Structures are given as C-alpha cells and as structure tokens.
Amino acid sequence: MAKSPAKSTIWEFLQSLGKTFMLPVALLAFSGILLGVGSSLTSDAVKQSMPFLDHTVLQLLFLWMTKVGLVAFIYLPVMFSVAIPLGLAREEKGVAAFAGFVGYAALNLSINFYLTVANVIGDAAAEKAYGVKSILGISSIDTGILGAIIVGVIVAKLHARFYTYKMPDALAFFGGARFVPIITAIVLGVVGLVVPLVWPWFAAGINGIGAVISHAGPFGPFLFGTGERLLLPLGLHHILVALIRFTEAGGTQLVCGNEVSGALNIFYSELSCADTTQFSVSATSFLSQGKMPAFLGGLPGAALAMYHCARPENRGKIKALLVSGVVACVIGGITEPLEFLFLFVAPVLYVIHAILTGLGFMTMGLLGVTIGNTDGNLIDFLVFGVLQGTATKWYLVPVVAAIWFAIYYGVFRFAIVRFNLKTPGREIESNDAPQAAGKKAGSSGYNGEIILNALGGADNILALDNCITRLRMSVQDMSRVDDKLLKANGAIGVIKLDEHNLQVVIGPQVHLVKNQLQSLMGA
C-alpha cells in the first residue's frame, strides 16, 4: 500500500531489495526439506536399517518428494527475476511479476542471439569459455542469481516508470500496465547484447570475493557468520547471504559431472546426486550448521539469563515473551524476537552475539560437521543432520550447542547485572506508561488501531510492507511516531533508518498486523 511516497534512498532500496529475496528463499527452505527427507529415505542405508520403508508405495512417495523438492533449486534464477519486481512494485504487482519472467526470457534469448552470431554456439571450447548452459531450454550464459537480480531490478524500475504510461489513442490498447512487459522485452533484449561483453568482469569480481573467503580458510565462515548478524539490524544481511549461497563467492565444485556454484547450490546438488557419499565441508560451513550453536544453544541461554536477571515481580510478565522467542528461534530459525530484546539496550552484547555466531560457523567447519540448508533450526538438524546418517557428524551439534548455551548465559548474566542493563523485566513499572485499555486486539493478538495511532495515523503512512518479522514503512513525519506506545503494545523494537523510513519489529505474526493496518487504512 502506498501513496505519494518520498523519494527513495539507496538505503531504503537495498532494504527493499533484500526483503524481496524472502519469497524464493522461503520456498527454497521448504523445498530443501522435501528434498532432504525424500533423498534420505530412499537411500540404501536407510532401507537396510528400516526395512519397513522399503515398500514400493512409500519409495515412490519419497521419490516424488525428491523430485518436487528440486523445483526451487532448478528454477531459482527465474523465481528471483519474478519475485524482485513483485516485491518492489507498489501497484500492479501481478504485471510486475509477469514482466519479470518476460525480461528473464528476453535476456537469455538475446544472449543466445549474440552467441550464435559470434559462432560460440556449437564450439565446445568457446562455450566453456563463456560458461554456456541451457537456461529455460535456451543456450545462454549462466548468469545465475546475480543475472536474475539485475533483471529483477531493471524490470522493477521499468514498471515504476511505465505502468501508468499513456499511449496515443490509436495505440491505447498497449498503454498502461500492458506496456510494462513490452518495454521490458525491448530493454532486456538490448541488455542481453551487452551481457556477453561485460559478464566476464562481473564473474571476475564475484570470483575475487570467493577467493578472499576461501583463502581465509576457517576464518571465511567466521567472517560470513559475524557479518550476517551485524547486517541483520540494517536489513541488508539477505544480500550477503544470497551472494554466498548462490554465486561463485560461495565456491564452485563439480557435482555429478556438473559444475555448480554457490554454497547452497552445491549442497542441494550433492543432496540430489545418487553418487554423493559425503557432503562438502567447504559448502556446508556457510549453511545451517554454522547457525546451530547460537540458535539452538546460545540464544536460549541468553533468554534464560534475561529471565533470571529480571525483577522477581516481573518474571511472570516476561516469561511468555521469552518462551515464544526461544520457540521461534529453535523451531523456526527466527531470531529477531530475542535479538531485539537486547540489541538497543546493550549494543555491545549484540556485537558479542555476532562474534559468537561467527565462531559457531568456524567451529562447526573445523569439526567437519556437514549439515546444510538455510535456517539452522531444529528441523534442519533432524532432516539434514540426523536423517542423513552419522557421516554428517550431527552428534556434535548438541555438544557445541550446550557449550554455547553456557557461554551466552554467563556472558549475558554478568553483563546485565554488572552494567545494570535494562533488558526485559528489569525496568521499574510506572503508572504513566502507555496503555491499551479498552481496545480489543485482532486475530494477530495485536491491536491494529493503537499501532496505527502510534504510527501517526493512516495519513502519516506513505508505504507499508513487511518481511518475516518486521513492518517496513515510509512515513511522512517521523516525529509523529510514538516509540513508547508501539513497544507498550507488542512491538519488540523500533528502528528509524532516516527521516522517512521506519521498521517496527513485531515477530512471526507481523503479516497479520500488516493486514490489520491495511484494512484500517482502507476504511
């Protein structure tokens, strides 16, 4: 929902871009679970240890799960090229998504035209030099996720510029939203002629990043894990994550005779390859296993420390908040509900948390653990660790998580008591705190009317959207936003990025809160 928004800043654009990654990544995480369960339960080792699974109907079901699980992996670039303009568009989102597919196809057809004219197609040596692969059945340069992101951004810009474009009366049928895929095909067709000329420079830059990380040895995963946590409050962590998961920066490896780039791509390729006997540590070091020490052990330890450090009369009030945060972290891999409890009151603790997360990545890699996927939660541990057999060294995860639990608990309890940090439950209740009396909460458990008022009212909101745990919005007047009232009515944190751009951390129910606000604003 949007109305005459203020001019977007680079900061806002990067945040919005990172948010659009969530749609394909969410499907990727679920597809990974299907792939992991299906491939593990069709393996000879599992059938020998659990003979009751070696039944034709069950094996066909598991094989079907494996095949369906490949959908996100095989078509991931297409999904990014569609999801980015879909997420960035403020109006006519369906047209933007359709134009994203048109643009991606036009780009690859144009690249194919160039390669054909240049006599690259059919020359094995030349095709290898250009990195030619079959993309949607088209012999083209495999630009991967980076190419899809470029397409998505270009299409989003074209959509914003032309979805209200007025054509002459004789051509009025082609105007407005219908003009967007038309101009997209033309522009991306031209871009496709340039890609073969400039792509080697892009590839060299990405390979350079990959070389820095690979030459860092065990510190590569440490730098990645720490950097990802430090970027999370800014909403820019998705960009770093996508770079490592899906491009050459995350490594390149030969899997089942195919060259695969990106840590997550490599892991999924190995997962679906019948010849795989051991997952690559170099790939999984950047994946789920690195998060598990902090997610399954560390943050629950921090939550217990905050509970024990709360005033006795307040512990009952914060118990549900902390327990729900731990459940979201351990089961769902969603950490923000816990992290934002101490991010603003003790930024140094958050930096320590980021460093310990990076050390978790490095430790799991050094121990040779090989658990992949994306979330680092209990589901990943069971599906991609336990079900894949002892070769993944899953049995080391509880040990390391227990150590991280003790470290986090000790560090957080010492810091909170020593420096009197105002973590939840340590503040003294005051009678003049903002209240929600007389207002009924909606299905989300949050009161949309109070939250809307705390944001300055419907006329103050220029644009409204959400990611996994946060409301993301642009406001007309930031001074009208009442931080205390938002926090008194369920907000975990309020982040003011600049004079117009704002994020309100809600938690896993954020999409329901956004729907409430949109309904109230429409009314």
Which active-site residues does the annotation give?
A: 467
Does residue 500 contact residue 479 with C-beta atoms inside 8 Å?
no
> Nearest 5°: phi and psi at 67?
-65, -45
| Continuous segment of H or E residues that includes residue 183 | helix 179-215
Residue 445: exposed, middle, or buried by beta-carbon count in 10 A (0-12, 13-18, 19+)? Answer: exposed
Contacts 24+ apart (CB under 8 A), 136-141: 136/78, 136/104, 136/105, 136/108, 138/105, 138/108, 138/109, 138/111, 138/112, 139/112, 139/115, 140/108, 140/109, 140/111, 140/112, 140/115, 141/111, 141/115, 141/195, 141/196, 141/199
CB atoms within 10 A of CB 202: 16
Q: Which two tokens stand for residue 15?
A: 């945040």
* b/e burial code for range 156-182 (CB count within 10 A of at least 16 → b): bebbbebbebeeeeeeeeebbbebbbb
Residue 459: exposed, middle, or buried by beta-carbon count in 10 A (0-12, 13-18, 19+)? Answer: exposed
Q: Where are the beta strands (DSSP E) in 103-206?
A: 132-135, 138-141
- Reduced to 3 states, what is the DSSP secondary structure of residue 324? helix
Helix, strand, coil percentages in the chain from 3-state DSSP, rounded to 5:
65, 5, 25
Residues 270, 251: Cα–Cα separation, whole Å = 14
Residues 167, 511: Cα–Cα separation, whole Å = 37
Instruction: Please give the C-alpha separations between residue 94 and each of 17, 180, 265, in angstroms, as whole numbers.
Output: 17, 11, 28
Does residue 1 contact residue 521 with C-beta atoms inside 8 Å?
yes
Instruction: Please give the C-alpha separations between residue 134 and each of 127, 140, 200, 230, in angstroms, as whole numbers.
Output: 11, 6, 18, 38
- Reduced to 3 states, what is the DSSP secondary structure of residue 505? strand
Name the DSSP class of 174: G
Instruction: Please give the C-alpha separations between residue 463 and each of 432, 483, 518, in angstroms, as whole numbers.
Output: 31, 18, 10
| Continuous segment of H or E residues that includes residue 19 | helix 10-20
